Chains A and B, each alone.
Chain A
Amino acid sequence: MRDYIIRRILIVIPLLFAISLLSFFIMQLSPGSYLDDLRMNPDISEELIRKMEADFGLNQNVFIQYFSWLKEILQGNLGESFTYRIPVAQIIGSRLFNTLLLSAAAMLISWGIAIPIGIYSSVHRYSFLDNIFSVFSFIGLSIPNFFFALLLLFSIVRFDIPLPINGMTSIMYDYLSPMEKAIDILKHLLVPAVVLGTAGTASLMRQMRGQMLDVINKDYIRTARAKGLKEKKVIYKHAVRNAINPMITIFGFQLSSLFSGAALTEIVTGWPGLGRMMLTAVRSKDLYLAMAGMMMGSLMLIIGNLAADILLALNDPRIKYH
């Protein structure tokens, strides 16, 4: 097992290298550069743009640009943002916690709802409640996040519900006691977390239900029942443990989204996360900021997968790595 983990970690290095190469060149080969916005400004002369191009090193060969970026990043320097002119690490740092908070809350909601309901639905297949849940999950699957968020915000305004509709803290935040501060953030967290959480719930719920249905008809479940085990034990000890494996893999993938943020939901609910900022960075071609975001996402994806594989082994003694 230990050898396996070490091996996996060693594979990460060339993998990240390849990812960085690919993202850098895709960013650079797509038309335009950060300076395009400035080109359309009548006050900015061609000369100034050329000067800035030289300042940012954008006039150099793409390969030279890539290797100088790589050199910096190997020394732990993520570079400087074109837009903000401060180190990328500081910009990301200022929003990292917010994004983590939102993603964690959303994951908590989606898994917290999906797993129990999935189990319930599979055990009580085609019951009234199972049908209701199915309907809801189909609605959940088909409704776009930003629209659901707008709908929630609109009802908050329409029905005068005492919930905030924008941001992460209220304007009186600095004058609140620590307890009140926590409540304030939770209140702001509610809408975006519910939107993101329920979006994930629907598919997870269907997955869990399907997996359970697969398992529940297996011989060993019949045997367990025949042994006279309590139904609760049959379901939770025997069925769920077997059905959960694919869910763990999904969980691993989802870990990567912890830091990548959810741009559209963030924009609509005004949550100060990384998602929107990264979207703008990619679109405005703020090269190093965008690269940092992409590298962070990839790293999390790799770590998430590794974590999932380890969890799988812990959950299922049949799985062994060499």
Chain B
Amino acid sequence: MTKKIITILILVLFIFNISAAAELKDPWISKKEQGQHGGTLITTLLGDPKTFNTIIAKETSSSTITDGYIFEGLVTRNGVTTEYEPELAKSWDISEDGRKYTFYLRKGVQWSDGEEFTADDVIFTFDVIKDENIPTSSRDVLKVKGEFPEYKKIDKYTVEFTLPESFAPFLNNMTAPIIPKHKLYSAWQKGKFNNTWGINTDPEEIVGTGPYKLVDYKNGERVVMEKNNYYWRQDPNGRSLPYINRWIRVIAESQETESLLFEKGQTHYLAVRGIDYRRIKTEAENNNFSVVDAGPAFSTNFLVFNMNPRNPNLKIEPYKYEWFTNLNFRRAVAYAFDKQTMINQALAGQGTKQWSPISIANKVYLNEDVKRYPYNLEKAREELEKGGFKWNENGELLDAKNNKVEFTMVTNAGNNVRESLVNIIASELRELGMTVNSTPIEFNKMVNQLSSEWNFDSVLIGLTGGVEPHQGTNVWMSNGHLHMWNPVQEEPATEWEKRIDELFVKGAAAVDQEKRKKYYDEFQEIVAEKLPVIYTVTPNSLYAVRDSLKNTEVTAYGGVLWNIHELYLED
């Protein structure tokens, strides 16, 4: 009898609790086919998370666990079109002058512990980001002309941001994850925010608005997530998403193990490496999975020559500065890039040639119509002659003052793709009579040479791009610290660098996408023309996906899981 009373009491409490909780007024409804609820998704991770505190997380190993799955931003980008889409904000207005952004939040969204999500959480998140004691990269990208935007709560469901001037990349920064005030406010007040939500935190404490919540983390083994029952996206029948109840992410530590796990049938998808492509592809025929080529990835690999007059080595070898700043020299090198061989040998045939500084995968801003340098050693020799170089009787290349052209080319040890790219490039340049000493060096050493010592000759390195070109300011603007060929300049050293600076300022200020694209098109033309960096090849994103995983739309931008809320498992 008492049992019954207790059950009824609990039931009543439960019902009361639900009626007290916010009612979801602005759900998002899936347009994909209705799927089955339930099941467990198993995927792999390549490394342990370092923290669950997404604001201070700097490694992808941490953010791939939290961002988009546990935490969400006000806006997001569509995984297929990469266009902006509403997420926690159901809509937004931008004022005529491009300075005022008003976000209207979805009403009745709940955190995974049942608390309601409101404008206070948004304000709190930006309070934390603005706090100079919090080491987060989100703060700098939000600053416009060195000023953090003003933001204020209009009402419970409206927030307004005012920028010092029109700044289009602002919307891109609004994809930053929003964190719960009710969980983190006191830690922040006590100055303990940076140590909060580390990997030793009780999973119950970590609360987000995303489709999943953390239930278990076993150091070095796996991360277990479960469906967030309060999630605001709904299936066509009006039931709350995601379809998949449990999500286990096995930490595999090496790509070999990742593929073995997939081939053993234990995981639902695999990011296929170029060298595994053929093997996996043949296996796909007899097994229940298919291999998807999602096109070129966002990563880039390029060669950069040191054009920095502050290079300390120039005291001994002043002529190197002359070579590297000689446009004909760089063009000759570009013509000597045998990109087809690079694709075949370094990427096992699964890659694309890159010519422009914008990632090939960037559908919005890529300018395909830039100057190209197809592999041609004859043309390379012509360029060298035009640049005043000549050859001695042994076929060695000499400059106008009879100095033998000899330089080093380094890349970071341990990156197989880059190591083989360096070898391919060096062997072609030797054909031209240059003496190239190519060596892989420790990553830290390479970074030191690039960022503070400035004493390298040439470096092969890569950066991962995004959709928003403005994210490249530190690389392309002449005062940027990643402007590798000649970093942190006070005044742009050349006319074209000055022009790129202008284009980046204009590109950020224009709000209209068409207008912005024009500026960034010109920027891409300049870089392809002046070759401060010489691009190589980009690997393709290849995925093997089990047929039982439905509703997938695999892309280079979003991978397999960008629409995890819509994915379901068929028995």
**A positions within 8 Å CB-CB of B:** 30-33, 36-48, 51-52, 55, 80, 83-86, 90-91, 94-95, 98, 150, 153-154, 156-157, 165-169, 171, 174, 266-273, 276-277, 283, 285
Contact = CB atoms under 8 A, between A and B. Distances in A.
B264 A48 contact: no
B140 A47 contact: yes
A36 B481 contact: no
Interface in B30-69: 42, 48, 50-51, 53, 56, 58-59
Contact of B140 (A48, A168, A270, A276): A48
Contact of B443 (A36, A84, A91, A269): A36
Nearest to B256: A150
B260 interface: yes
B444 A31 contact: yes
Nearest to B472: A42
Interface in B227-250: 248, 250
Interface of B: 42, 48, 50-51, 53, 56, 58-59, 132, 135-137, 139-141, 194-195, 198-200, 216, 218-222, 224, 248, 250-254, 256-257, 260-261, 263-264, 442-445, 447-448, 450-451, 461, 463, 471-475, 481-482, 488
Which of A42, A80, A153 has most chain B Cβ within 10 Å? A42
Given A91-B199, A167-B221, 18 more contacts: A31-B444, A32-B447, A32-B448, A37-B447, A40-B451, A40-B461, A42-B475, A43-B137, A46-B481, A48-B136, A153-B260, A157-B264, A267-B253, A270-B220, A270-B253, A273-B220, A276-B253, A277-B48
Given A84-B50, A168-B221, A45 B474 contact: yes
A98 B471 contact: no
B42 A86 contact: no
Given A43-B471, A86-B200, A157-B263, A48 B218 contact: no
A321 to B, nearest CB: 42
A44 B135 CA distance: 10
A51 B257 contact: no
A36 B450 CA distance: 10
Nearest to A274: B220
Smallest CB-CB A-B distances: 10 pairs: A272-B220, A32-B444, A86-B198, A36-B447, A45-B140, A43-B137, A94-B219, A31-B445, A42-B474, A44-B137
B451 A39 contact: yes
A45 B146 CA distance: 12
B357 to A, nearest CB: 12
Contacts of A266: 253
A169 B471 CA distance: 41
Contact of A44 (B50, B51, B140, B253): B140
A167 B448 contact: no
Nearest to B473: A42
A31 B448 contact: yes
A80 B444 CA distance: 21
A32 B200 contact: no
14 contacts: A30-B444, A31-B444, A39-B482, A40-B461, A41-B58, A43-B474, A80-B195, A83-B50, A85-B51, A95-B220, A166-B252, A168-B220, A269-B257, A272-B218
Contacts of A154: 260
A47 B447 CA distance: 17
Which of A165, A270, A277 has most chain B Cβ within 10 Å? A270
Contacts of A47: 140
A55 B133 CA distance: 9
Contacts of A52: 135
Contacts of B251: 167, 270, 272
A271 B135 CA distance: 32
Contacts of A44: 58, 137, 140
A28 to B, nearest CB: 12
Nearest to B441: A31
Nearest to B254: A267
Given A31-B445, A51-B132, A85 B194 contact: yes
